Amino acid sequence: MIAFSFTENQLAVRDMAREIAQKIIMPDITEYDRSQKMNPRLLPAMAEANLLGFCIPEKYGGLGMDYISLGLASEELEYGDTSARVILSVHIGLFSLPVLTWANEEQKQKYLVPAAKGEKIATFGLTEPSAGTDAVGIKSTAVKDGDYYILNGEKMWISLADMADYFLIFAWTDQEKKKKRIHSGLSAFIVERDWEGVSTGSIHGKLGVRAGNTGYISFQDVKVPAKNLVYQEGAGFKIAMFCLDQGRYTVAAGSTGLIRACRDACIKYAKERQTFGVNIEQHQLVKQMIANMEAGYEYSRYLWLKAGWLKNQGKRSTKATSLAKWIACREAEAAAANAVQVHGAYGFSDEYPVERFYRNAKGASIYEGTREIHTIMQADYVLGFRQDKELERDLPPVEQ
Q: Residue 3: is its pLDDT beyond 60? A: no
User: Does residue 262 fall inside a structural domain?
Assistant: yes
Gap between the Cα atoms of 195 and 223, Å rounded: 8
Report d(CA 355, CA 258) in Å as an integer.
12
Mean pLDDT over 187-207 rounds to 97
List phi, psi (to 5°) of 328.
-60, -40
Mean pLDDT of 94-98: 98
Q: Flag whether 399 is in a domain.
A: no
For every residue of 65-120, which 3-state class applies, written as one string?
A: CCHHHHHHHHHHHHHHCHHHHHHHHHHHHHHHHHHHHHCCHHHHHHHHHHHHCCCC
**Would 60 be classed as within a structural domain?**
yes
One domain, residues 245 and 287: yes
- What pTM was estimated for this model as a whole? 0.96
Q: Kindly state whether residues 21 and 158 are assigned to the same domain.
A: no
Q: Which domain holds residue 318?
A: 237-383
Which contiguous run of DSSP H or E holds residue 242? helix 236-272
Same domain, 337 and 356: yes
- 97: CATH: 1.10.540.10
Mean pLDDT of 315-335: 97
Q: How many CB atoms lie within 10 A of CB 175?
A: 10
- Between CA 109 and CA 103 the distance in angstroms is 10
One domain, residues 216 and 332: no
In 10 A of CB 286, how many CB atoms? 20
Do both 131 and 230 map to the same domain?
A: yes
Question: 318-343 and 236-272 helices cross at what angle (nearest 10)?
Answer: 30
Q: Which of 235, 266, 291 is the last residue of a domain?
A: 235
Let me know whether 49 and 141 are in one domain. no
Q: Is residue 3 part of a domain?
A: no
CA dihedral of residues 9, 113, 193, 159 (deg, nearest 10): -20
191 and 229 fall within a common domain: yes
Rounded-to-integer distance, Cα 281 and Cα 39, Å: 35
Confidence grade of residue 392 (pLDDT, cut at 50, 70, 90) = confident
Q: Note whether 223 and 134 are same-domain residues.
A: yes
- Looking at per-residue pLDDT, the higher value among 339 and 394 belongs to 339
Average pLDDT, the chain: 96
Tell me how crowded residue 7 is: count the other CB atoms within 10 A of its CB.
Answer: 14
Residues 6+ apart with CB under 8 A from 86: 159, 160, 209, 212, 254
Domain end point (choices 183, 201, 235): 235
pLDDT for position 290: 98
pLDDT, position 1: 45
Partners of residue 218 on adjacent β-strands:
154, 199
* 344-370: average pLDDT: 96
Distance between CA atoms of residues 345 and 281, nearest Å: 17
| 395 located within any domain | no
70: left (phi over 0), alpha (psi -120 to 50) or beta: alpha
Looking at the DSSP bridge assignments, the partners of residue 176 are none
User: Looking at residues 272-290, what average pLDDT do you find?
Assistant: 96
Any domain includes 1: no
Judgement on whether residues 13 and 113 belong to the same structural domain of the protein: yes
**What whole-number distance in Å separates Cα of residue 69 and Cα of residue 251?**
14
Going by the DSSP 8-state scheme, the letter that residue 397 receives in this structure is P
CA distance 325 to 300: 8
Q: Which of 368, 390, 392, 399 is catalytic?
A: 368
Report the amino acid identity of residue 278.
V
Residue 2 domain-assigned? no
Least confident of 189-203, 358-372, 384-398: 384-398
By three-state DSSP, how is residue 281 classified? helix
pLDDT digits (tens, 9 = 90+) for 255-266: 999 999 999 999
Split into its structural domains, the chain has a count of 3
How many whole angstroms separate alpha carbon 381 and alpha carbon 372? Answer: 14
Please tell me the distance from the alpha carbon of residue 363 to that of residue 246, in angstroms, as a whole number: 17
| Residue 317 phi, psi (nearest 5) | -125, 15
Q: Confirm if 159 and 90 have CB atoms less than 8 A apart.
A: yes
CATH code: domain of residue 172: 2.40.110.10
- The answer to whether 150 and 157 are in contact (CB under 8 A) is no
Residues 146 and 216 in one domain: yes
Q: Is residue 65 part of a domain?
A: yes
CB-based burial label for 147 (10 Å; 0-12, 13-18, 19+): exposed
What is the CATH number for 263?
1.20.140.10
Q: What average pLDDT does range 231-241 have in this prediction?
A: 96
Question: Hey, what amino acid is at 115?
Answer: A
In this predicted structure, the answer to whether residue 16 has a pLDDT above a threshold of 90 is yes
Residue 368 is among the residues annotated as catalytic for this protein: yes
3-class SS of residue 158: strand
Which of 14-28, 49-63, 65-79, 386-400 is the least confident region?
A: 386-400
21-44 pLDDT tens trace: 999 999 999 999 999 999 999 999
Domain final position from 165, 200, 235: 235
The closest alpha carbon to 175, from 219, 141, 148, 138, belongs to: 141
The pLDDT, as a whole number, for residue 208 is: 97
> Do 244 and 378 belong to one domain?
yes
Give me Rg for the CA atoms of the chain: 21
Does position 185 have pLDDT exceeding 50, yes or no?
yes
Whether 253 and 365 share a structural domain: yes
